[in-house]
Amino acid sequence: MRPSILRRLLRRVAATAALALVAATLSTAAAVQPAAAAGGLQQVTGFGSNPGNLQMYAYTPAALPANAPLVVALHGCTQTANDYYASSGWPKYADLWGFAVVFPQTTSANNALSCFGWFDPAEDGRGRGEAASIVQMVEYAKQRYGSDGRRVYVTGLSAGGGMTADLLAAYPDVFAGGSVASGLPAQCATSQAGASGCQTGPQKLTPAQWGDKVRGAYPGYSGPWPRVAIWQGTADYTVYPANATALRDQWTDVWGIGQTPSATDSLPGGTTRSVYDDASGDPAVVTYSVSGMGHGLAVSPGSGTDQCGATAAYFLNTICSTYHTGVFWGLDQGVPGGGQLPAPSGLRVTGVTADSVSLSWDAVAGAGSYAVHRDGAKVATTAATAYTDPGLTAGTAYRYTVAAVDGSGTPGTASSQVTATTTGGAPARCFTATNYAQVAAGRAHTTGGYVYANGSDQNMGLYNVFVTHTLKESPSGYFVIADTGCTA
C-alpha cells in the first residue's frame, strides 16, 4: 500500500474516534447509503477532479432564470443529500424565488459516520480535499446552470455547518454568504483529537483570535467578507451553544463591527434574532437563538411562505430557518441589475408611532407596483410611493427596503435600507445576582460548567454562587452583561 493511501486511511480511522460524542448521540441512526435521485434531485458526475471524493446532487427548478443565485447545502453526520433535499425546505424556496441548489454528499467511504471533514486540514483548507471538491461543484453550476458567481451561498448542519464556516474562511471570494446551523467556528479544530473538544466547548479565545483563524485561511485576502447567519438551539448538547457565541465573535471581528448587536427581536418558535450591522447599516452577521431546541436544523412544516421542511431525525419543528436565511441573503428580492427595474431612490421615514412606521420614496419609471420589505421579509405591495406599516411593537427598531415591480410581477433591485424605531416600549430592567441565581431565575443558562446570558449568549463565567453579574434586559427575554452600569 502506498504511504499516501495509508495516511489517508489512518486519518479516517482517527476521525471516527474524534467524533465519538456525535456517534453516541446518533447511535440509533440507520446505516448511511448513497442518496438516490428522488423527485427533482439528480446526481451529477464529471464535475471536476474531485480531490475530496464527494458526490454531487443538484436541484434546479423549471424555467430557472439566467444569472440566478446558487445555494450549496451540506448535510449533517449520518445524513445524505437526499435527507437534506427532502426535509430542509430548500427546494420550496428554489421554486418560489428561482435559484439552483447543490447538495454535496460525503459517505462512509470518507468517514464512518458520513461527516464532512471540518476538523481535518487535508479536507477543509483552500485547494484541498472536500473543500476543493465543493468549489468544483460551484464552478460546474456556474457553467451548467448559468448561476451568478456574485451570489453563491453555502449552508450546513452540524458537521456540514462546521464545513460551511471553513468554506467561508477559505473561499470568501467564492461565497457571498453562509449559514451555520448547530455548527462550529471556522478552524475550531485542526486535528481529529480536537474535534470533540470543540463540540462540547470551543477554546476561550478573544474575538480577534477567532477572527485570525478566518484571516489565516486565505492569507492576504482583505474582503469583501461573506454575510453570515448563525442558528443554534439553547438545549443542544451535541454541539454546545458556546459555539454560536464563538461564531458570532469570529465573524463580527472579521467584519470589524464589534459584538454588541445593532438590534434584537423575537421570531416564531421562541427564536431571538440579534443583528450586527456593517458600517453601511446593512446586516453582516445575524444570530438566531432557538429557545429549548436541541441538535438539528430548525424547520416549520406548512404551506405558509415562512413555513418549510419536514420533521425527521435532526429536523426539528420550531421555525423555518431556511426561509429566514434566504431572506437574510436577499434571495427573495430578485436579481440585482440584469436589465430589471432600478432601485427606488429617496426611501425615507416620514413618521413613527408606537405601533406603526410611515415611509415614502421616489417613483420609478415603468413600475407597476412596489414591494415593501421589513427586516428582509415582504410585508406589502402597493401602487403608491408611500406606505404605512401597522401592527408593530413599541420601542423596536425595524429595517426597510423597497423594490419596484414591473408589469409582469418581476421585482427589480432593492433600495438602500432605512431604519425606523417605533416610539414607547417597556423600559429596560436590571438584575444583580450570582450566576447560580441568574440561571435559577431564567435569565441565563449553563453550558459545560459555564453560564451564558439568555439572548446575547455572553459568557458570565463559572456556574456557582461566587460570581456575581448585573444583567440588563431589553427587549424582553434578551439579557446583556451590564456590570459597569445599568440604566433602567
What are the DSSP calls for 461-473, one per residue? EESSSS-EEEEEE
- Give just the sign of the alpha carbon dihedral 301, 303, 307, 309: positive
Give the whole-angstrom CA distance, residue 409 versus residue 289.
35
Give the whole-angstrom CA distance, residue 351 versus residue 438.
39
Other CB atoms closer than 10 Å to residue 150's CB: what's the count? 10
Give the whole-angstrom CA distance, residue 230 versus residue 247.
7
Helical axes 90-97 vs 321-329, angle rounded to 10°: 40
Cell numbers placing 297? 436544523
Cell numbers placing 386? 408611500
Give the whole-angstrom CA distance, residue 211 versus residue 219.
12
Q: How distant, in Å, are the alpha carbons of 22, 31, 110, 191, 228 from that of 77?
A: 8, 11, 12, 18, 22
Residue 98: closest CA among 56, 67, 75: 67
Give the whole-angstrom CA distance, residue 296 versus residue 312.
10
Q: E strands, 67-200, where?
A: 70-74, 100-105, 152-157, 177-181
Which residues have CB under 8 Å from 242's CB, separation 6+?
201, 202, 447, 448, 450, 452, 457, 459
- Catalytic positions: 158
